[in-house]
Amino acid sequence: MSTSSILNTLLLAFCYLVLFTIGELLYHKCRVKVEITRKVVHIGTGLLALLFPILLDSHWLVLILCTSFAVILIGSLRFGFLPSINAIDRKSIGSLAYPVSVYGCYIAFILSGHTYTYYYLPVLILAICDPVAGLAGRRWPFGPYVIAGGRKTIMGSAMFFLSASLLVGGYFQVFHHVHTATTFVAVLIISVLAMLAEAVSSDGYDNITIPFSVIIGLIVTQSLF
């Protein structure tokens, strides 16, 4: 690992601390509801994680970064700080599952021969589509249903599928310059798998199942096409 990567790790750690601070300021000073501050931190965490393959040249640095914040989050649950993330009225391991998921995506990136799609698509869908589904389901709670112990809505699932389809299709178009019929099928398969993973997951486990389902979708579509 290079000196520049170590310095980048420290820079990223600082950026994450700033992100957590912003969440706390929104919660305490601006009286923003915890469901919103959680989403802000959720999206910000994912967007910062997109820099990992560019700035870090070793999975050990990613592991150190993810483990450090997992420890901070465990401490926040134990000692009652970071209410902008933790002050919710339901059981959730989502904040702890997030760093585990990001590290897993980075490992998938390495195992795929440094194929960026195996990192960026899972992280992007987790960072963007999951909050979109949660906010839409709360704002327009149409079609509530319970599956595998998780309470979801048809509206939330539909918005997850729509946002995932647009994101995957846009990614393929921008970075791979393809818009064929087989690409449409690939977008459909990946989006459906991710939507189902979100639908059947509860208590924050979707932070792991969503990226995993996207990686599976990429493997399946690669073998098909």
> Which residue has 């980048």 as its token pair?
8
Q: What percent of the chain has pLDDT over 90?
A: 42
Q: In this predicted structure, what is the pLDDT of residue 4? A: 87
Q: In this predicted structure, what is the pLDDT of residue 18? A: 92
pLDDT, tens digit (0-9, with 9 covering 90-100), for 71-111: 888 887 777 777 777 666 667 676 788 889 999 999 999 99
Tell me what the pLDDT averaged over the chain comes to.
86
Q: What is the DSSP letter of 145?
A: E
Name the helix (H) or strand (E) containing 151: strand 150-153
Tokens for 85, please give them: 């993330």
pTM comes to 0.88
What lies within 8 Å, CB to CB, of 104 at 6+ separation is: 208, 211, 212
Distance CA 91, CA 35 (A): 13
pLDDT, tens digit (0-9, with 9 covering 90-100), for 37-73: 888 888 999 999 999 999 998 899 999 999 998 888 8
Distance CA 7, CA 195 (A): 37
Residue 123 has pLDDT above 60, yes or no: yes
Residue 225 has pLDDT above 60, yes or no: no
Q: In this predicted structure, what is the pLDDT of residue 98? A: 87
Total domain count, the chain: 1
Q: What is the DSSP letter of 183?
A: H
The parent domain of residue 57 ranges over: 3-224
